[in-house]
Structure 1
Amino acid sequence: MLDATLTVEPGEAGLALRLTVENTGDGPVSLSFSDGQRAEFVVERPDGGEVWRWSEGRSFTMALGNEELRPGETREFEATWEGAESGEYVVRGWLVAREADAEAEMRVTV
């Protein structure tokens, strides 16, 4: 079983986003990825309009990937949202593994 938490903090270059995924189960969890991307971050207005997507304009290796999370083990994924304008937003982050579900979100005011 995977548990995800998201933190959003002001940083020098913008808002620092961190998705932490932990295996809270009793056995290992295998993660399979379609390419080099491991996580995604999206910022939306409260009405659902997308403002920023971390992967937009990025290239990823086209190689399949597999990772294993042992019980109690965590992985962290980070991104920076530069140029955030004042307002209220919903920030979401999730693991992009094919058969794993680990997503978290939080509301932030810039």
Structure 2
Amino acid sequence: MSDPLDATLTVAPSADGVSLTLTVENAGGEPIDLSFADGQRAEFVAIDETGAEVWRWSDGRAFSMALGSETLAPGGSVTYGAEWPSPPAGEYEVTGSLAATDADASATMTVVVPERG
């Protein structure tokens, strides 16, 4: 049985690039415990038109090595954000995914970054 988790990805232009927000909602009738292997709660990845990964939010970041957990009540949600600084102009498939070890939730959308000028 899959977890009744719904994920939504929203993208908005920011002064320095693109703001990404992943919202994960418990669509089921029971609380869901989310376990994390370290301090990372979500991952964001951008893939270009050739299928190449051009940006990964966690690259170059250090996360606390402490185990963590969060409980999502029925109907409850949690939001994780990231900033993609100065992305090159182009069209990308951006995916936001929950970094839990025991639950899966992700959302993907096409993002078009205009030429700056």
> Alignment length, in residue pairs?
110
Aligned to 1:78: 81
Instruction: Please state how far the C-alpha of 1:70 moved relative to its aligned partner.
Output: 0.2
Moved over 6 A (4+): none
Q: Distance in 1 between matches of 2:111 and 2:66?
A: 35
Q: Distance in 1 between matches of 2:89 and 2:99?
A: 29
Residues 58-90 of structure 1: CA deviation (Å, up to 9, x unaligned): 000001111100001110000010111111100
Aligned match for 1:67, one of 66, 70, 92: 70
Percentage of identical aligned residues: 56
2:25 pairs with 1:18: no
Q: TM-score, normalised by structure 1?
A: 0.97
> Alignment RMSD, CA only?
0.7
Q: Unaligned regions of 5+ residues in structure 2, if any?
A: none
3-state SS in 1 of match to 2:8: strand
Larger deviation, residues 70-79 vs 41-50: 41-50
